[in-house]
Chain A
């Protein structure tokens, strides 16, 4: 009993320390001007400010702005500019001047019809679009320094926006009565991420305190040191797997919070909860964090824990490389997110299409690239480890065709990852060098080709989405078969389907680029091949269904998640069939239909699969049973709210709601006669989605609570609580270290697993030589 307590304490403290460590902030750089997201001038004219335009703010009587204001007083401002193309006073010119004024404090009020307040900022109206000077009132705040930042456009008046138009900006600081320095206003992103950091630290301290109260003795350095050393240096596959779980769950939370922020922003049209910059960074990092830092570590966690146990190996073949694959991940994560703390997070989309990735002024994009380079290295090492382990360390009697399906799925998945990820790595390094030493791989001026990146990215990216979903297939195969107390139906066709999916992924990647301007011939080829994916996937779904036939299905939490997976994955698979048809893709491309589709596959597929895996292998990993009651609650709320989030997105996408927009246009007011804007009910659907998204997010906290609570107070688990057949159920729960005292031998219930049927030749290659196997595999 004492031993278990120490373990619990150790595990909980590592959670705390990792929370703190992962959120270590390398840089804080609050921006003194933090008054607007618009940093690069007016959106519709040339990119850089021009010194020919001189902007100024004075008082209306002509005198300069006072250095100190009187609290609460109202000042009449004269906003003006001179210089630039607007100077040429040709009467035929239209819309020659405009401005935008933001005040960090106080209130700006228009006093005539030439100015107006838009989104909190003062700007000109249609009527005031030809002027070079405007009047407005500014009411001073009661305290603190105020910054007034003015941007003016000097336009050539040809009524089309072009780079001949010039603009400039100027800022004034008006101090409060005390004349103190301008206050530093932090960026919203900094606030959010510092908030997460702070919460994590407080959480860690609280946890530490709880455990201190429980067992003060465990808090001596003498006991802490070996404990922390163990976690930092361990190469045991189980410890590394646990580390993966901790970091994966943490980043699942971070990605979830980002998603919630995105959903709040989209809950109503024209919302200004987030600035454009923040929104763009959030959806970029939501994608990257969820794929690379949540889904893949969680899969790696299960792979680490379960694969050696399933194939009857004591550990992975290269334990130190395995530890390194893990430790590259948090380091990569810190790099990847480090731009966020200075409000300069990567804002390029998780696909990082060029040339915006090479030219965005958010330097977080450089770190985002660097962080992903480390993740690529990590995945490569993982790939080597698992491929070699599965290829060379299977227990006697376990030919390729006797491997449990989860192991098969991990093999196919790492194989795909391993073959494709160097391509992505090279693309990243090219982009990283573009952003640092100014190579020109994606610089169109030097002949660079943005499509090269798209190709390199999707050559990796498409296998990658299968990489995260294929392990879920493996989990579901195990769960469905075990829950139904049946053998999986069509083991062989399951394996060939997996391998088929893995291979086809490399040919069809171009369907992400059907509208990208790549060679039409290649587009044509991928149109025809993409639909092929449906065949192996269909085989798997029908096999799962057939597995239940004649069985006795026990409804446990993991069974429910597996059935939920079948529902959502089938829907996601069907909606996927709409994209390869080019004539449909040109409408659906980059709409919420795509968003709905890949969330149905990635959340309804991968994440549901991972949930099922959590409930299924939790007793094996911790030696404790999980609470079924909470699990079912989690499933019910999660499944329903999940569908509430993503099902309406199909409709929104069909109506033409485009993704990655921080706002959207409703057919009302001035847009009421424009066909193609969204009908008014789209706003209501978006609000509904947001509400459901919060429910889904919160429902997952139930699982987190369940994991922690069951770990502390759950009932003891037997070695084989569900009745599975593979080796992991043979060892005790939790397994000892090393995992097997002696390597077991797999027996075979099939009297003749002789080659024959469809695949005699493949079979011969894939079964052990008769000489080797003869005595040991014994029937």
Chain B
């Protein structure tokens, strides 16, 4: 099974597809331009730099001496090696270089892409926060975070549907749930923020003291799943783990 659960996987593949397209366009464009329009000359080295520096100090000296005189150095030779297409000069706002059509193209096309991506990421919110009628036969399980362990409460469910135990190998608390049943994990916290993260199913939600939050969880494969804490909660944050065991 891939990471993150089914919904995540679907979206992830879709997003990756478009990301790769955008990335390839950008990088091919960039690499093309940076090779085609490169200039090997034009670096300010050696003579040219020396000349400019000398010129600057000469100007400075003359100004100090009160000689108000403007002069420019002929740089024809350089101009060939270092073409200044836009005739950029110090103190002059350069000639504007734009193309409204092009700019509109790369405003509108990304915008359409964004709308599409918004569209496809809209529907899954139904799966994350299902509306009430879809949850009629869901089982409620309490999950309470405390520094630094998880406290599971089966709220009177039969041990087939929900059971709490200890894993013999790792010593972690185990919450046993049944395959293909829908559970509402009712999250809360006794001290600071915690967030149970069921890694393989790609589910995270903060457990906030003073209020209840929920995760809707429908296990679709058996096995032992790792649950850790995804919101920083103090010293033993990393040790705040548990196991969710799915059985048939």
Contact = CB atoms under 8 A, between A and B. Distances in A.
A–B direct contact (CB < 8 Å)? yes
A353 interface: yes
Contacts of B191: 47, 355, 359
B236 to A, nearest CB: 4
Contacts of A732: 56, 60
A589 interface: yes
B155 to A, nearest CB: 14
Given A359-B192, A586-B203, A747-B91, A549 B33 contact: yes
Query: Chain B CB within 10 Å — which of A551, A567, A674 has the most?
Result: A674
Interface stretch (A406-414, A415-423, A712-720): A712-720
A719 B44 CA distance: 12
Given A487-B96, A538-B110, A548-B37, A658 B11 contact: no
B3 interface: yes
Nearest to A162: B151
Contact of B166 (A159, A347, A587): A159
Given A162-B151, A718-B49, A749-B93, A489 B98 contact: yes
Contact of A570 (B26, B85, B230): B26
Interface string A511-536: 00001110010001001100110110
B224 A402 contact: no
A664 interface: yes
B15 A161 contact: no
Contacts of A40: 235
Nearest to A94: B166
Contact of B53 (A718, A729, A758): A718
Nearest to B14: A581
Nearest to B106: A542
B170 A655 contact: no
A490 B149 contact: no
Contacts of A11: none
Contacts of A38: 235
Interface string B178-210: 000000000000111101011110111110111
A660 B86 contact: no
A628 B43 CA distance: 10
Contacts of B62: none
Contact of B37 (A360, A539, A552, A746): A552
A773 to B, nearest CB: 13
B226 A677 contact: yes
Interface in A590-645: 590-591, 625, 628
Given A444-B209, A586-B203, A664-B238, A402 B232 contact: no
Contacts of A591: 230
B111 A535 contact: yes
Contacts of B161: none
A554 B39 contact: yes
A73 B17 CA distance: 68
A747 B237 CA distance: 61
B171 A126 contact: yes
Contact of A583 (B27, B127, B235, B236): B127
B56 A582 contact: no
B103 interface: yes
Contacts of A750: 93, 95-96
A526 to B, nearest CB: 11
B158 interface: no
Interface string A475-515: 00000000011111111110000000000000000000001
Given A548-B34, A571-B23, A587-B203, A493 B103 contact: yes
A447 B203 CA distance: 28
B178 to A, nearest CB: 17
Nearest to B240: A43
Interface stretch (A329-337, A448-456, A760-768): A448-456
Query: Chain A CB within 10 Å — which of B3, B90, B93, B129 has the most?
Result: B93
A96 interface: no
B160 to A, nearest CB: 19
B232 A484 contact: no
A486 B88 CA distance: 7
Contacts of A209: none
A224 interface: no
Contact of A485 (B30, B86, B148, B203): B86
A349 B147 contact: no
Contact of A625 (B22, B49, B195): B49
A661 interface: yes
Contacts of B56: 718-719, 732-733
A663 B238 CA distance: 6
B243 A589 contact: no
Given A493-B98, A516-B208, A570-B26, A676 B198 contact: yes
A665 B149 contact: no
A77 B114 CA distance: 68
B69 interface: no
Interface in A160-216: 160-163
A543 interface: yes
Contacts of B148: 43-44
Given A539-B107, A583-B7, A676-B226, A723 B88 contact: yes
B38 A584 contact: no
Interface string B110-141: 11001001101110110111000000000000
A675 B204 contact: no
A586 B114 contact: no
Given A535-B110, A674-B224, A43 B147 contact: yes
A719 B59 CA distance: 11
B193 A356 contact: yes
B112 to A, nearest CB: 10
Contact of A660 (B168, B232, B239): B232
B195 to A, nearest CB: 7
B102 to A, nearest CB: 7
B67 to A, nearest CB: 15
A601 B46 CA distance: 37
A745 B209 CA distance: 61
A491 B86 CA distance: 14
A72 interface: no
A487 B8 contact: no
A545 B26 contact: yes
Nearest to B207: A517
Given A570-B27, A675-B225, A717 B53 contact: yes
Nearest to B187: A517
Interface stretch (A58-66, A370-378, A572-580): A572-580
A486 B128 contact: no
A183 to B, nearest CB: 25
B65 interface: no
Nearest to B33: A548
Query: Chain B CB within 10 Å — which of A359, A487, A492, A748 has the most?
Result: A487
A675 B19 CA distance: 28
A730 interface: yes
B103 A539 contact: yes
5 contacts: A163-B146, A451-B208, A552-B85, A586-B202, A757-B100
Q: Which 5 residue pairs are nearest across A and B when measured between Cβ atoms?
A: A587-B202, A676-B226, A581-B121, A676-B199, A583-B124
Interface of A: 37-38, 40, 43-44, 47, 95, 126, 159-163, 276-277, 280, 347-349, 353-356, 359-360, 397-398, 402, 444, 447-451, 484-493, 515-517, 520, 524, 527-528, 531-532, 534-535, 538-539, 541-543, 545-556, 563, 566-567, 570-571, 574-575, 577-578, 580-584, 586-587, 589-591, 625, 628, 654-656, 658, 660-665, 670-671, 673-677, 715-727, 729-730, 732-733, 744-750, 753, 757-758
Given A355-B209, A552-B83, 15 more contacts: A126-B171, A160-B164, A160-B173, A161-B151, A485-B84, A490-B97, A516-B206, A527-B125, A550-B85, A567-B30, A580-B121, A582-B128, A586-B202, A749-B94, A757-B100
